[in-house]
Amino acid sequence: MSQSEDWRVRNIRRMNRYHAWRAARAKPAMGFVSQPEPKSIGSFARGRQLIGGNFLFAGYLVEAPNTSIWDLEAPASGFVEEIHGFAWLDDLAAVGDFNARHRAQDWIKLWMERYARGTGPGWTPDLTGRRLIRWIHHALFFLSGQESEVSNAFYRTLGQQTIFLSRRWQTASPGLPRFEALTGLIYAGLSLVGMEEHVAPAVKALAHECAAEIDEEGGIPTRNPEELLEVFTLLTWAAAALSEAGKIADTAHLEAIERIAPTLRALRHSDGGLARFHGGGRGAEGRLDHALASSGNKTPPGQALHMGFLRLSAGRSSIIVDAAPPPRQEASYNAHASTLAFELTSGRRPLIVNCGAGSSFGADWRRAGRATPSHSTLGIEGFSSSRLGPKKMIGGHLRELLVDVPDDVRLELRAGDDGGGFVAGHNGYTPTHGLTHIRQIELSKDGRGIAGEDTLATITAEDERQFDRMMDRLKLQGIPFQVRFHLHPDVDAELDMGGTAVSLALKSGEIWVFRHDGRAKLSLERSVYLEKNRLKPRAAKQVVLSAAAMDYATRVRWTLAKAQETPTTLRDLEMDNETLS
């Protein structure tokens, strides 16, 4: 960290402490004018874990039965941030019994005793907005049976956090944290007596963020589908809260909701889960459907790119492809080298996936998850299509940004009587090897067959010279590359005796068969599936085609075909999720 960056971080923290201290001395809120209905969806299983003393945050598990959440020895800063954000309150509310309420009440009261004076790591605008939303959502859950002294302290602390947020929201990290901060400010201004003056400025600021951060395609700079869902959810919550209070959200706010809804539909698979790209996961169970239903928007996705992703669907199959350069903005420190990677879902069962974001399992897994070999695409051995640059201080954390990303990604859609597909290419390997990766995928009209082709080729005379230089460096042995197809952990894969095909059995009873044209070596290797809220990565497998580029153009062809379909459950018989919303 440079001296200027270190000074900036220390100055932000100092100003946060100062404004938190000032807010603690301001006139408190006196009670609720109105309270929004709880809309945040928690996990019953995680709530039970918390009650049992199993604290899983930021990929770390701390087992401490009969211990307050504030007395834990936090293993990492991310762990501390998650507990001070209070998203876990959703999980306790999902359980909703006496023990869950008892934990929630004790832990909120203890937070007020220790930190309500403006001290502690929770006094940042990024966390305060998230915390305000949860406290207001679950206020009745907390206040039930409380004495007036505790209730007054609760209102006083809510008012203090509202005033702090009104003064410091501008310093929240761009993107999701700032949307959380402004939504929390709107919630508090509408709900708390004496805080009404904060509503209008927050509504105006939120509209400005919508215009600045959400593009015409309904996408956000990070290109993270799960983060887009979280932003969309916040915007629908804020719009609903304003409507319930007899107010109308700004036009830019409402237009952003209208743009995002069809984009989210384009980014979800036929099983209802989101495509896992650029640090995002599948999304909390039910969150996407609930958010779309709450928005009232029923606009279907168009045929063009949505936030840089292409969706192909036919029958019960859906394919989502990363068809644009990785995000380069500093806010997108979770960007992955996933250009032209794809995911495939059949009905309710994921088949081809990307490994996912490994940030919850530590720095090494986070770095590995961002590399090209962790995605279902072609990669030159020892290289990624984008390179991780040096660490920079962003939002008080050292982050690694992608550099040397492909700056020329081209896409052409193709349609025919037998189905549709695309051909696309990117120049991520041109500076190092003189090679352009060209990928072509066609999905049959009934969704039961996929034909793919991956090519490494030189395009210009300079590309040929760079390719020759690399071949000389490798003593004319060829440039080794692999085309990887990571499988979901629930897929049972078996390589046939001749090594020419792989059978892929889904739990629904479907059998898919992977074949290739014989120009590469086919193998079945180990892989991992990285999921949030798990203690460790899940073991999985990957189909790998290995070859070497010896000429100015090297081509590998492959197919996936559904050989059998015997659904075993009613859930597997459901149609594509897009018909539900």
Is the confidence at residue 199, as pLDDT, over 90?
yes
What is the average pLDDT across 327-347?
Answer: 85
Determine whether 384 is exposed, middle or buried from the number of CB atoms within 10 Å of its CB (0-12, 13-18, 19+): buried
- Secondary structure of residue 146 in the 3-state scheme: coil
- Residue 370, pLDDT score: 92
Question: Do the strands 309-314 and 378-380 form a parallel or antiparallel pair, or are they unpaired?
Answer: unpaired
Residue range 258-316, pLDDT digits in tens: 999 999 999 999 888 999 999 999 988 778 888 888 888 888 888 889 999 999 999 99
From the CB of residue 381, how many other CB atoms can be counted at a distance below 10 Å?
11
The CA distance from 490 to 493, in Å, is 9
> Whose CA is closest to 309, among 242, 354, 264?
264
Angle formed at CA 363 by CA 532 and CA 130, multiple of 5 degrees: 50
Q: Give CA separation, 424 vs 3, 94, 321, 344, 408, in Å.
A: 44, 45, 10, 17, 10
Residue range 229-257, pLDDT digits in tens: 999 999 999 999 999 989 999 999 999 99
Q: What are phi and psi of 316, to 5 degrees?
A: -105, 15
Fold for 373-562, please state it: Beta-galactosidase; Chain A, domain 5 (2.70.98)
pTM of the model: 0.89
Q: What are phi and psi of 210, to 5 degrees?
A: -60, -45
From the CB of residue 574, how many other CB atoms can be counted at a distance below 10 Å?
17
What is the average pLDDT across 87-107?
Answer: 95
Q: Give CA separation, 462 vs 276, 369, 434, 439, 552, in Å.
A: 36, 32, 7, 22, 12
Task: Quickly state the pLDDT bin for 387 (edges 50, 70, 90).
Answer: confident
Residue range 356-375, pLDDT digits in tens: 998 888 888 888 999 999 99
What is the average pLDDT across 541-570?
Answer: 86
* DSSP 8-state secondary structure symbol assigned to residue 222: T
The structure tokens 């539909």 sit at 265
What's the N-to-C CA distance of the chain in angstroms?
A: 47
Task: Quickly state the pLDDT bin for 564 (edges 50, 70, 90).
Answer: low
The neighbouring-strand residues paired with 423 are: 412, 440
- Residue 571, pLDDT score: 47
The CA distance from 480 to 253, in Å, is 49
The CA distance from 18 to 32, in Å, is 27
Query: Order of strands, edge to edge, in the sheet holding 501-505?
Result: 409-416, 419-426, 436-444, 449-457, 553-564, 511-516, 501-505, 492-495
Angle formed at CA 364 by CA 362 and CA 366, multiple of 5 degrees: 65
Structure tokens at 529: 């599936």
- Secondary structure of residue 320 in the 3-state scheme: strand
- Residue 13, pLDDT score: 59
- Residue 397, pLDDT score: 56
- Residue 66, pLDDT score: 87
Separation of CA 383 from chain center: 24
The structure tokens 């840089």 sit at 308
- In the chain, what percentage of residues exceed pLDDT 70? 88
Cβ(126)–Cβ(396) below 8 Å: no
What is the average pLDDT across 143-167?
Answer: 90
Residue range 419-446, pLDDT digits in tens: 899 999 999 999 999 999 999 999 999 9
Q: Between 332 and 225, where is the model more confident?
A: 225
Residue range 5-17, pLDDT digits in tens: 454 545 555 555 5
Domain boundaries in the chain? 1-170, 373-562
Residue range 87-96, pLDDT digits in tens: 999 999 999 9
Is the confidence at residue 42, as pLDDT, over 90?
no
